[in-house]
Amino acid sequence: MRFLKGRSLLCWLILMLVSLSVTPQAGFSREATIGEISTLVPAFTGERLGQNVGTVLNLKIWRTLRIPSTLWLGQKDTINAIVSWSTEPLPDTSYEYTEKFARRSDFQLVLWGSIVRFGDGVLAQPLLTILLDENGDLGDAASWSVSIKDADLRLSVTIPRVRYELPPIMLGNDLLELYRTPASVKIYQGGQNKPPNLQKLGPPIGELGNDYVALINEGDFTRVKNEIGQQGWIYLPKLAGDNEVINFVGGLIRLFRRDYSGAVELLARVSASGASVALKVDSLLVQALATAKTNDDPGSLIDAAEKLNPCLQTTAKFKIVYLASLSQSGSAKQKEAAASALAQQISEKGYMFAEDDPWFKNARKFSTSIQR
């Protein structure tokens, strides 16, 4: 069961840094695995505890992963999820460098950042970058498309952004000191499907190590299998709390794995939180995309995003694609109403687009075609 996996990137990172500093054209690149969504959370820069911050965020994201109910072992569309970690920070914190590194190393997401001392802990500023492929998506998981039957017309939207400056996070020293690296987390004996008694953990039987797989999550315990085949339970206290960063990144990973209901579950926590309006809007739009994938109606999610900020081109695109999808299903009367609403939306939102915007020109063609 190799869906929920963690991995050390220390050796890979060192090799990559050396090669880039000497011969960039011969940079290190690990072999990509088809159907694998890989996320990197390296040590944060700025302070000694940056490594601990990366570890805490890595473990938090790792624990949001799950085996989707729609995916079964042995299926061709099974999508692994790997969250890698490194004890070394990236030498350059720019988006450009991080994206170049991620592309050469076959990562779809990188969560990195910097920290500063603040009171009895540290203030972390996380950054997120998402790499879409050459077609502008991650397969079909990150896009929502509508086409007209018997016509060469197609409208698509994808995730709202690929670069994020996420909300700052306060982390206390007491928490950080517990998690120097994922590899050092202790494994304890327990039942096959039942974690050990917290009051009677007993001596550890091993450590998580550099390559590990999660099997079951039970509260603050996770049953794991490490790289030498040991199975047991790790105890992760103080990691159960939600926050916008973990839920947003975890929701994106679930989306890219085609775990659409799981993506909505985590992203709904972001849109219902005290996050910024911008992050709430993006969360609602990604939920709409995931909801459309399950053939449910995402209209209320798009309306909620539009209510938060009615002047965003991205939200207008989602609304246009939504109305276009309605124009292709239902009764003749429903299709006619949707086609009329689509024409009105295009007319009202035209000011948001340049005159020669190819996406908007295609939307107009789509609307004109279904009006005939």
Domain boundaries, the chain: 4-176, 186-235, 259-371
142-178 per-residue burial string, b: 16 or more CB within 10 A, e: under 16: bbbebebeeeebebbbbbbebebebbebebeeeebeb
How much is the pTM? 0.87
The tokens describing 253, both together, are 């990973």
Alpha carbons 281 and 307: distance in angstroms, whole number: 9
> Mean pLDDT throughout 57-79?
67
Q: What is the pLDDT of residue 326?
A: 95
Q: What is the pLDDT of residues 110-139, one digit of tens each?
A: 999 999 998 888 999 999 999 987 544 566
Alpha carbons 288 and 286: distance in angstroms, whole number: 5
Maximum Cα–Cα distance across the chain: 75
Percentage of the chain lying above the pLDDT 90 cut = 59
Q: What is the pLDDT of residues 281-326, one digit of tens each?
A: 999 999 999 999 999 999 999 999 999 999 999 999 999 999 999 9
Q: What is the pLDDT of residue 296?
A: 95
Least confident of 43-52, 70-79, 326-335: 70-79
> Mean pLDDT throughout 148-152?
77
The tokens describing 90, both together, are 């990236």
> Mean pLDDT throughout 21-28?
21
Q: What is the pLDDT of residue 10?
A: 44
The DSSP code sequence of 55-84 is HHHHHHHHTT----TT--TT-TT--EEEEE
Q: What is the pLDDT of residue 137?
A: 53
83-99 per-residue burial string, b: 16 or more CB within 10 A, e: under 16: bbbbbbbbeebebeebb
Percentage of the chain lying above the pLDDT 70 cut = 85
- 68: pLDDT strictly greater than 70: no
Q: What is the pLDDT of residue 294?
A: 92
Q: What is the pLDDT of residues 178-193, one digit of tens each?
A: 888 888 899 999 988 8
Measured from the Cβ of residue 15, the count of other Cβ atoms closer than 10 Å reads 16
Q: What is the pLDDT of residue 75?
A: 42
Q: What is the pLDDT of residue 80?
A: 81
Q: What is the pLDDT of residues 228-261, one digit of tens each?
A: 999 999 998 877 677 999 999 999 999 998 899 9
